[in-house]
Amino acid sequence: MNVIRSSLNVGGAFASSASARAPERAPALVAVSHGTSSPEGQAAVEGLVRAVATLRPDVVVAGGFVDVQQPDVRATLASLDARVPAVVVPLLLSAGYHVHLDLQRETAAVDRHTTVSAALGPDDRLVDVLVRRLAVSGYRPNDEVVLAAAGSSDSRAVEDCQHVARMLAVRLGRPVTAGFISAAHPRLADAVASVRAIHPGARVVLSTYLVAPGYFHSLAQEAGADIVSDPLLMPGEDPLPGLVDLVLERYAAARAGALS
- What CATH number is attached to the domain comprising 245? 3.40.50.1400
* Residue 100 and residue 206 share a domain: no
Residues 6+ positions from 237 with CB-CB distance below 8 Å: 44, 47
* Residue 158 and residue 57 share a domain: no
- Give the neighbor-by-neighbor strand order of the sheet with 227-228: 176-180, 144-149, 204-209, 227-228
Crossing angle for the helix pair 124-137 and 155-172, nearest 10 degrees?
Answer: 60
Are 64 and 30 a contacting pair, CB within 8 Å?
Answer: yes
For residues 183 and 186, what is the distance between their CA atoms, to the nearest angstrom? 9
* Residue 106 and residue 141 share a domain: no
- Provide the pLDDT for residue 179: 98
* Residue 249 and residue 154 share a domain: no
* Residue 132 and residue 114 share a domain: no
- Provide the pLDDT for residue 198: 97
Total number of domains in the chain: 2
Cite the DSSP H helix spans in 79-214: 97, 103-108, 124-137, 155-172, 188-198
- Provide the pLDDT for residue 14: 52
- Provide the pLDDT for residue 24: 67
* Residue 59 and residue 26 share a domain: yes
* Residue 32 and residue 114 share a domain: yes
Identify the domain containing residue 84 by its residue range.
Answer: 5-119+237-259
* Residue 248 and residue 196 share a domain: no
* Residue 54 and residue 16 share a domain: yes
* Residue 252 and residue 151 share a domain: no
For residues 251 and 237, what is the distance between their CA atoms, to the nearest angstrom? 23
For residues 206 and 221, what is the distance between their CA atoms, to the nearest angstrom? 9
* Residue 243 and residue 223 share a domain: no
- Provide the pLDDT for residue 98: 84
pLDDT tens per residue across all 260 residues of the chain = 222 223 333 334 454 444 444 446 899 999 999 999 999 999 999 999 999 999 999 999 999 999 999 999 999 999 999 899 999 999 999 988 889 889 999 999 899 999 999 999 999 999 999 999 999 999 999 999 999 999 999 999 999 999 999 999 999 999 999 999 999 999 999 999 999 999 999 999 999 999 999 999 999 999 999 999 999 999 999 999 999 999 999 999 999 987 76
The model's pTM is 0.90
Crossing angle for the helix pair 241-259 and 124-137, nearest 10 degrees?
Answer: 170
* Residue 171 and residue 184 share a domain: yes
- Provide the pLDDT for residue 196: 98
